[in-house]
Amino acid sequence: MTTAPTTLSESSSRLTPEMVQQIEQWCRRYPDKRAVVLPALHLVHHRWRWVPHSVVVQIAELLELAPAEVQDTLSFYGFFKQDKPHGVVRAWVCRSISCALRGGDELLEELCKLVGTRPGEPARDGSITVEAAECLGACEHAPCVLANERLYRGLDPRDVADLYRQLRKQAEQERDPGESSTTSPSDAS
């Protein structure tokens, strides 16, 4: 289950005691604290669906690094969100040559229309973010979509409405019980 930032905002974001404890455990495991940057970013991102700048600074302080070193790692990977949380379901639409030839671009366009956003932006209710992926490594199932950890295979762009319904259902199943289904995580304060 995805834990959502129901009351987390940039100005109030702080690492939880459990997060600090986990990061400190990793520091004892590795000979160089720089090795902990990526696991720490994944920890925060998995929990909150984004990594606010204030948390980058906290991670840097814990690891005795300059905030720029943590920010460099975060910005290198397109996976991490920093401006606002992504949706409960993050749906990566493959754009590899195999998927493109079988309708992947149309799938991306139509799915964004149904969600009511552009690629990379969460739905108004925070349920789904549709993003373009360069390759999901599932060419034999083209076109495909990776939604969190679930791979939707052999999709037909004409059936995008069915995929959208499945993603909405997945979002409801994975939504944190304390999270409102009508409030966008970016609107939370």
Rg (CA), the chain: 18
Closest CA to 91 of 145, 137, 46, 170: 145
**In the prediction, which pLDDT does 81 show?**
85
CB 52 within 8 A of CB 13: yes
pLDDT in tens, 45-76: 988 989 999 999 999 999 999 999 999 999 99
**In the prediction, which pLDDT does 184 show?**
32
**In the prediction, which pLDDT does 38 show?**
95
Q: Which residues pair with 5 in a beta bridge?
A: none
Domains of the chain, each with CATH number or no CATH: 13-76 (1.10.10), 89-176 (3.40.30.10)
**In the prediction, which pLDDT does 9 show?**
54
Cα distance between residue 189 and residue 172, in whole Å: 22
CB 111 within 8 A of CB 160: yes
Cα distance between residue 56 and residue 23, in whole Å: 13
Closest CA to 14 of 65, 63, 48: 48
pLDDT in tens, 127-169: 999 999 989 999 999 999 999 989 999 999 888 999 999 999 9
Grade residue 34 by pLDDT with cuts at 50, 70 and 90: very high
Closest CA to 39 of 14, 53, 30, 4: 30
Cα distance between residue 137 and residue 51, in whole Å: 26
**In the prediction, which pLDDT does 12 show?**
58
CB 7 within 8 A of CB 189: yes
**In the prediction, which pLDDT does 181 show?**
44
pLDDT in tens, 106-129: 999 999 999 999 999 999 999 999
Mean pLDDT, the chain, rounded, equals 87
